[in-house]
């Protein structure tokens, strides 16, 4: 397992980190067990956010009394100074700490600069010692590129997997050239990528820190196994990646959920990627009466367009939903999966 240094922050950790969004779905005891097992297995970097309900609280409980042994990053969706410090103080309390290693603006709509109070709040918090490094997350490539060029942030968190475009890869290289740490989110593309060896081998080629979303011990065991076995790009892994890229590249839903809620109660973040999910997971799970009813809700889409304005990937969601429903109905009628 190689180590990776997050740019000029000087934070050096194994290139294998814990994404704590999923632990909001499990009990406190289960989450604490996962987090401590992750630490015991070699992970040292843990990423969370104010928006992840009780994820911060669970991390705080797991690492109380050993704060200096881990690196923690969190995020705020605030756009004003007052809300920023409100969120930061809650994060510090939840995490049972007096500092956060990297505090990030969450899903930034643009590159905030010295003229914006939210950026100046970050600078002030760093001077106060409440945060040690200034970070930002984005989903749109143009915004991410502006962030790197600005030179104002120490880390960038952006979606990155082996479905990455050439432009995405150039973004990662640009971060390295600018001495900026790159944190790779959605390394499994919302659960569509299922070969952990291929995902890890791809990440090993770049100056990037992947934060794997982990909810179960079986998932954690898979990522921890790479501390004991070296993984590198092979012809066999290249074949897996090429096959997945051929099947999945193009407009597809990552399941992030920023489009929700839907005005007519469609589970957009699942229904808009049913084409992929039904072919990459046990299909029976998605052919149940429950999912048939959920998919049929697409027929009631009023095309209000609200979901399109929220989608960080600028997908034409109503069209994507209809495409998935058409395919789903054909499968129900007997079309081979």
Catalytic residue among 4, 52, 119, 206: 52
Residues contacting residue 228 through CB under 8 Å, at least 6 positions apart: none
Residue 139: name the closest of 156, 152, 120, 151 by CA: 156
- DSSP string over 244-291: HHHHH-SS------TTPSPTT---HHHHTTHHHHHHHS-GGGGSSHHH
Catalytic, 52? Answer yes
The residues with which 212 forms a beta bridge, in sequence order, are: 18
Confirm if 41 and 235 have CB atoms less than 8 A apart. no
* Helix, strand, coil fractions of the chain, as percent rounded to 5: 45, 15, 40
Strand runs labelled E in the chain? 3-5, 12-14, 17-19, 45-47, 71-76, 100-105, 131-137, 155-159, 181-185, 209-213
Please list the active-site residues: 52
């Amino acid at each position: 397992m190689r180590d990776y240094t997050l740019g000029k922050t000087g934070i050096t950790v194994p290139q294998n980190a814990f994404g704590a969004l999923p632990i909001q779905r499990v009990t406190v005891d289960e989450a604490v067990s996962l987090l401590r097992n992750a630490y015991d297995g070699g992970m040292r970097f843990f990423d969370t956010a104010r928006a992840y309900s009780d994820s911060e609280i669970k991390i705080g409980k797991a690492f109380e009394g050993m704060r200096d042994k881990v690196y923690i990053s969190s995020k705020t969706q605030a756009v004003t100074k007052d809300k920023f410090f409100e969120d930061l103080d809650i994060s510090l309390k939840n995490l049972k700490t007096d500092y956060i290693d990297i505090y990030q603006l969450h899903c930034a709509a643009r590159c905030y600069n010295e003229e914006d109070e939210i950026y100046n709040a970050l600078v002030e918090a760093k001077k106060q010692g409440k945060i040690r490094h200034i970070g930002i997350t984005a989903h749109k490539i143009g915004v991410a590129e502006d962030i790197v060029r600005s030179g104002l942030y120490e880390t960038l968190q952006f979606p990155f997997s082996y479905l990455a475009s050439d432009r995405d890869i150039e973004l990662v290289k640009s971060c390295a050239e600018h001495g900026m740490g790159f944190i790779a989110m959605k390394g499994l593309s919302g659960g569509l990528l299922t070969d952990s060896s291929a995902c890890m081998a791809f990440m090993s080629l770049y100056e990037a820190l992947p934060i794997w979303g982990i909810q179960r011990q079986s998932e954690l065991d898979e990522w921890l196994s790479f501390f004991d076995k070296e993984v590198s790009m092979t012809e066999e892994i290249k074949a897996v990646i090429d096959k997945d890229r051929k099947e999945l590249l193009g407009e597809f839903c990552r399941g992030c959920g920023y489009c929700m809620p839907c005005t007519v109660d469609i589970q957009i973040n699942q229904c808009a990627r049913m084409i992929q999910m039904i072919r990459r997971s046990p299909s029976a799970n998605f052919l149940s009466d429950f999912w048939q009813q959920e998919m049929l809700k697409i027929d009631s889409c009023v095309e209000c367009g609200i979901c399109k304005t929220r989608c960080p990937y600028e997908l034409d969601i109503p069209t994507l939903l209809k495409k998935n429903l058409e395919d789903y109905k054909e499968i129900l009628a007997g079309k081979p999966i």
